Amino acid sequence: MINIPGIQSSWLKDAQGPRVLLAVLAHPDDETFGPGGTLARYAAEGVDVHYACATRGEVGTVDAELMQGFATVGDLRWSELQAAVKILGLTGLHWLGYRDSGMPGSEDNRHPDALVQADHNVLVGKIVAVMRALRPHVVITFDPCGGYGHPDHVSIHYATKKAFAVASDPAQYPEQITQGLAPFAPQKLYYTAFPKRFLRFVVTGLRLVGRDPAKFGRNQDVNLAEIASWDQQVTTRIDIARFLNIKQQASTCHKSQAGPGGMFGWLPGPIRRRVMGAETFTRSQPPVSGNARLETDLFA
């Protein structure tokens, strides 16, 4: 197995295929609630799929009964993540070593180990090390708004974008080269893009059942109504219909964040399959021309 200096890695299975996909996100559950179906699909197709997770999700409220056997919320959420990535079929899980920063303006933003307090060059260097070690063809991260504005998501977006640009430059982080991590240029960079049709459906559905779409999620700190109004270019649509059940199974692992039924377990199965049968992305690199057709394969 590859040793990545400064990164704590767990290998879930031996590398198998010639293609490698790397998702760089912020918290346990980002991998599943976001591009989980896409990760599961490519893992099933023989791609080596890795998740570099910046934090252990230490911030947020958790039901007391879920804490039995765990010393901290971070320990609980990392255990949930380990279970989820096994269901998704990932090859490796890598922790970048930071602490959850919480939502904007919270006291956790000021914790010295919080991701938003990280030295940007050090953070970029850690992601460069992961890229040079794993040599991914495709990299996935958040969009510039961080999906729903979480400061950790935004930090990871900019750090991953910079790492993608400099990982091939031997003048950048030369100490990694002496540690056996040769420069490497990933081929494609994608940002997650919330499917607006699905979000609008969820917003309407929540209002019909008397729930406020501006207060969504475990801690009611996600404004789905606002997110549904944001304009984001979609260049790529990945069919995950055959892997939606796997995504839902992985979602149920994150009980501390979504409850026993998963994030969208409240949706009837047929409706869930209809509106969640695809995941969408924005291709950042190489740039997409204005008249390009919608992509259907990250490795095309």
Write the pLDDT tens digit of every residue in 226-281. 666 666 789 999 999 999 999 999 999 999 987 665 556 556 666 666 667 899 99
Q: Is the separation of the CB atoms in 37 and 45 below 8 Å? A: no
Q: How far apart (Å, rounded) are the C-alpha atoms in residues 4 and 1? A: 10
With respect to residue 67, please indicate whether it lies within any of the assigned structural domains.
Answer: yes
Q: Does residue 155 sit in the same domain as residue 202? A: no
* Both structure tokens of 249: 């199974």
Does residue 215 belong to any structural domain of this protein?
Answer: yes
Residues 193-221: tens digit of each pLDDT: 976 666 676 777 778 778 877 666 666 66
Name the nearest CA neighbour of 122 among 86, 77, 168, 176: 176
Residues 245 and 212 in one domain: no
In a domain, 273, yes or no: no
Could you give the number of structural domains in the chain? 2
Co-location of 179 and 203 in the same domain: no
54 inside domain? yes
Average pLDDT (24-41) is 97
Q: Say yes or no: 88 and 224 in one domain.
A: no
- 296 lies in some domain: no
Statement to judge: residues 245 and 182 lie in one domain: yes
- Does residue 290 lie within any of the structural domains? no
Share of the chain above pLDDT 90, in %: 69
- 100 and 210 belong to one structural domain: no
Residue 22 and residue 88 share a domain: yes
Percent helix, strand, coil in the chain (nearest 5)? 40, 15, 40
Give 210 or 55, the one with higher predicted confidence: 55
State mean pLDDT over 38-48. 98
Position 116 scores a pLDDT of 96
* Residues 183 and 207 reside in one and the same domain: no
Largest CA distance in the chain: 59
pLDDT tens digit sequence for 124-150: 999 999 999 999 999 999 999 887 778
CB 100, CB 27: distance < 8 Å: yes
Does any domain span residue 68?
yes
Looking at the structure, tell me whether residues 223 and 262 fall in a common domain.
no
Identify whether the C-beta of residue 69 lies closer than 8 Å to the C-beta of residue 117: no
Which pTM was predicted? Answer: 0.89
Which residue range(s) make up the domain with 211? 195-231
pLDDT value at 68 more than 70: yes
295, part of any domain: no
Q: What is the residue-wise DSSP string for 111-151?
A: -TTBGGGS-HHHHHHHHHHHHHHH--SEEEE--TTHHHH-H
Angstrom CA distances, 27 to 32, 43, 156, stand at 10, 20, 10
Looking at residue 274, its pLDDT comes to 63
202 shares its domain with 170: no
Whether the CB-CB separation of 178 and 160 falls below 8 Å is answered with no
**Is residue 122 domain-shared with residue 49, that is, in the same domain?**
yes
Count of other CB atoms within 10 angstroms of residue 261? 13
What one-character DSSP code corresponds to residue 242? G
Q: Which of 192, 209, 197 is nearest to 276 (CA)?
A: 197
Question: At 133, which CATH number?
Answer: 3.40.50.10320
**Together in a domain, 217 and 250:** no
